[in-house]
Structure 1
């Protein structure tokens, strides 16, 4: 899980680097908004879930539960926002 600023390039680079090092490790980003980046770019970089800042514990728990339930599963598009 990474806490990220809203600049797209560093976020996508970080996610892609994590994916390249550990392809089976789900990537969860915490950020104020992913709207400017776009779902397709996040998915391509290997991001499984995005939780909004400030943290809401139930949202973080749901994202982690989804990733832990099946780490190999495709990302849930509706949850990457």
Structure 2
């Protein structure tokens, strides 16, 4: 995910090093929210999404592309 998000940033005109820092901070922030609040990821997602907003549009694109299913399959395959 991190590499793909960085590549998207670069395609959008962001310098690679800046894209890397932005993505890393985003992932770090998401992890800290879950750890500090002891909440399920869906709770935190609900807090930051609005109907028709850019966050939910991005999440929907990931799901339409099979993101969750692909991550689950990859982790299970790695554990075999």
TM over 0.5: no
Question: Counting helix residues as a fraction of each chain, which structure ranks higher?
Answer: 2
Specify which structure has the bigger relative contact order, considering alpha-carbon pairs within 8 angstroms and separated by 6 or more residues.
Answer: 1
- TM-score, structure 1 normalization: 0.29
